[in-house]
Amino acid sequence: MSYEIAQYSTHLFSANEALGFHSHILGETSVLPEATTGKLLAEYRSAAEKLKVLLKNNQGDLTMDELVKAADKRRDEAYANGLAYLNAMVKSSTEEVAEAALTIKAVYDKFPDIRKANNNTESGILGNLIEDISALDKSVHKQAGFTPWFQELESAQEAFVEAVHNRMEAGATKIGTDIRTAKLNCENAYKALVKRVNAIAEIDGENKDFDPTFINHVNSFIESVKASKAAKSTKKTVKSDEEESVDSEDSEASAPVETPSVNAAASTEETKAE
């Protein structure tokens, strides 16, 4: 009787799915002969561990994180300092200054305090705040002496947006590439091990002392993975068909009912009168 591990690739798996597959396979390797598979097993384990670590620590570049935090702190300070300045200026003994400061502060008062919001919400609030202050006549800024404070607020917000963008680009590129490489290394290490085991089976498979446990378990697992993938694919297709059917029914139900126009009704009445 011949034994052989079926050819199977995790190329189309997500990184997490691939790690799950390889982790299961590695869990079955204790029965393999150390002398003939030890080196390949060590490389396979190492590749899987690297993929595992990368997925676990998929948090972006630490330096980029620090730059984003610093940019966020700067805009919080720019917001707070500008608001503190306005609170002082509304009490100015110079009426024109106080009125101009009140006009700008009224814009601040329209929005929640950004220091109590998360980064995404804060960006939205600041964007609207800056837009509304920009819409005020520049003479109001000048009268209140608010121009340098507002320029710092705009600059701080732009710096934060740029820092987040740079982190996303650098993080996505670096981490995405590292994970893809680690996933490919796992796949290659797995294939190398399978090739070696199949070669051993071809030579020793007829020997009564040959242990096919690993081959049988791997093949059973591959079949279960295939079945699971097929079931998910079928479920997705059925769901898609059902959604299309519902959309079609909704479209028919929502189609406008044709009603006679006023002119058509008038024409009918004239015909009856004749």
Work out the average pLDDT over 202-207.
85
Q: Domain coordinates of the chain in residue numbers? A: 15-58+179-234, 62-171
Which residues touch 261 (CB under 8 Å, ≥6 apart)? none
| 111 contacts 129 by C-beta, under 8 angstroms | yes
pLDDT cut 70: percent of the chain above it = 80
> Is residue 214's pLDDT more than 90?
yes
> Is residue 253's pLDDT more than 80?
no
Residue 68 binned pLDDT confidence (cut-offs 50, 70, 90): confident
> Is residue 177's pLDDT more than 60?
yes
The structure's pTM equals 0.49
What local confidence, expressed as pLDDT, does residue 221 receive? 94
**CATH number belonging to domain 62-171:** 1.20.1440
What local confidence, expressed as pLDDT, does residue 170 receive? 65
Strand residues in the chain grouped as ranges (E): none
Which residues touch 4 (CB under 8 Å, ≥6 apart)? 198, 201, 202, 215
Structure token digits, residue 22:
């390889």
